[in-house]
Amino acid sequence: MGPSSGRSELVDGSLKFTTSPAFASLINGASSHVVEQDDLHNRSITHPATVIFPAALAVSQDVGANGKDFITACVVGYEVGCRAGQYLGRSHYENQKFHTTATAGVIGVAAATARLLGLDVDGTLSAMGTAGTQAAGLWQFLLDATHSKQVHPGKACFDGIFAAYSARDGLLGSRDILEGPRAMGAALTSGATMPEAIDQNLGVDFAIIRSSFKWHASCRHTHPSVDALLALMQKHGVAFDDIESVVTRCYRAAFSVLGLSGLGNTVHQSKFNMGFVLAVAARNSQAMITDFTQDSLRDPSLRDFQRRVTMEYDADIDQQFPEKWQGTVIVKCKSGQEFTESVSFAKGDPECPLTRSELETKVRALATYGEITDMDKVNDLMQRAWNLENEEKLYNFTF
């Protein structure tokens, strides 16, 4: 559907195709969200990398920006998008059933693109206004095993870029798209917005360094319980076959997402089912991308374990969300023994960060999963990524 020529690349280099920044970011953004291995900004309940990086890369290629320009635009996009998500608050995500990655993300994309295009304050506000009026993304896809979740970040990239380029060319957008009487806060929440999130500690507490990297290849709401279960099993020498039942104590938002997919009949749905994810982790001592397959869906031992996992609401844990995504598991063994373990920060959180080696291991695992065989090129791209500030232009970032 997009133009067959342009300066923006598709990350899948095998396609040998360049196009407009809007369409390149649409494809790259959707692709980045397929396998549940992106990042998370806790406070805003968003996966900002899936919208900000694809958009900023595509626009940087279009305008010939250098690495420092790209990094700056990404910082701007994270800051604006995550603060928009925090402003919209829990009710937007939990009660109104919106996917904040898409709805707040489009605002961040518009801001990042506006930065790269050199728009002034009025132009940037117009870009954000046009982006916000297009904000969309619903959780219905989990009930019927469809692909809408991947569309969300891709379309947020497309719409945010469209909004900023249109603002550059004179299209006026609302100047008060978050707080106006008919704006996002009024229309897309139950009224419990957080106005202080818009400028609190602005320029001091940066969203991009408060984001976590996913280690497990499942919905981020499962990660605290996975980490707690793995720690418990290692600490007490509990094996997969020793476990009679598991109770995991969670915050309310986990129920609003993890309770939608039934038993998880597809690989993607299974990553949103607490019981199945814990079964995979307990049996394999991990929950990596290669652990969620069609074969695992048919494994009777995993399905049996899955049915013996119960989620319970915990008011104390809920009170800390979304600042902290905590989890507690209570394991009853077939021997009659019972053990409890809690985690305050999941592996990959800023308080429990992945090492550089772990990040590189994750990249190689994703490349292998994507059937990329040229590991020299993968390693070269990683080195370029580690040294982005030295890049004069951002071309040839393709696998």
* Full 3-state SS string of 10-67: CCCHHHCCEECHHHHHHHHHHHCCCCCCCEEEHHHCECCHHHHHHHHHHHHHHHCCCH
Which residue would you say has higher pLDDT here, 259 or 21? 21
Tokens encoding 311 = 């989620």
% of the chain exceeding 70 in pLDDT: 100
Phi then psi dihedrals of residue 130, to 5 deg: -70, -35
Cα–Cα dist 115/120, whole Å: 8
Supply the mean pLDDT for the chain.
96
Is it the case that residue 14 has pLDDT exceeding 80? no
Residue 261 confidence (pLDDT) above 80: no
The sign of the CA dihedral 218, 219, 220, 223 is: negative
Place of tokens 């048919």: 298
CA distance 239 to 231: 12
pLDDT digits (tens, 9 = 90+) for 318-356: 999 999 999 999 999 999 999 999 999 999 999 999 999
Q: Tell whether omega for the bond before 21 is within 30 degrees of 0, i.e. cis.
A: no
Q: What are phi and psi of 392, to 5 degrees?
A: -75, -35
Q: Which fold has domain 8-213?
A: 2-methylcitrate dehydratase PrpD (1.10.4100)
Joined together, the tokens standing for residue 308 give 């013996």
Work out the angle between the directed axes of helices 49-63 and 105-117 (0-180°, nearest 10).
Answer: 20
Domain edges within the chain:
8-213, 220-343
- Round to whole Å and give the CA distance between 397 and 21: 14
Q: How far apart are CA 51 and CA 26, in angstroms?
A: 9
pLDDT higher than threshold 80 for residue 13: no
- Has residue 363 got a pLDDT over 80? yes
pLDDT greater than 80 at residue 12:
yes
CATH of domain 220-343: 3.30.1330.120
Round to whole Å and give the CA distance between 178 and 198. Answer: 10
Are residues 130 and 173 in contact, defined by beta-carbon separation less than 8 angstroms? yes
Q: Is the pLDDT of residue 2 over 90?
A: no
> Is 191's pLDDT higher than 90?
no
Contact 326, 251 (CB under 8 A): yes
- Note the pLDDT tens digit of each residue in 227-259: 999 999 999 999 999 999 999 999 999 998 997
Task: Tell whether the model's pLDDT for residue 32 goes beyond 90.
Answer: yes
Distance CA 67, CA 64 (A): 10
Please state which of the ranges 39-43, 143-147, 168-172, 266-270 shows the lowest mean pLDDT: 143-147
In angstroms, the CA 185 to CA 207 distance is 20
Contacts (Cβ under 8 Å, ≥6 apart) of 131: 106, 107, 109, 110, 159, 160, 163, 164, 173, 177
Q: Which pLDDT value is given to residue 364?
A: 96
pLDDT of residue 78: 99
User: At residue 285, does pLDDT exceed 90?
Assistant: yes
What are the φ/ψ torsions at residue 4 (nearest 5 degrees)?
Answer: -90, 10
- In DSSP terms, 8 is beta-bridged to 19
pLDDT reading at 44 higher than 80:
yes
pLDDT of 260 strictly over 80: no
Longest dimension (CA), the chain: 71
Average pLDDT over residues 266-270: 93
pLDDT value of position 5: 85
Q: What is the mean pLDDT of residues 282-305?
A: 97
Mean pLDDT across 112-137: 99
Q: What is the pLDDT of residue 334?
A: 98
CA 91 to CA 290: how far, in whole Å?
34
Q: What secondary structure does DSSP assign to 226-265, as a single string? A: HHHHHHHHHHHT--GGGEEEEEEEE-HHHHHHHTSSTT--
Cα 164 to Cα 118: distance, rounded to the nearest angstrom: 10
Q: How far apart are CA 240 and CA 282, in angstroms?
A: 5
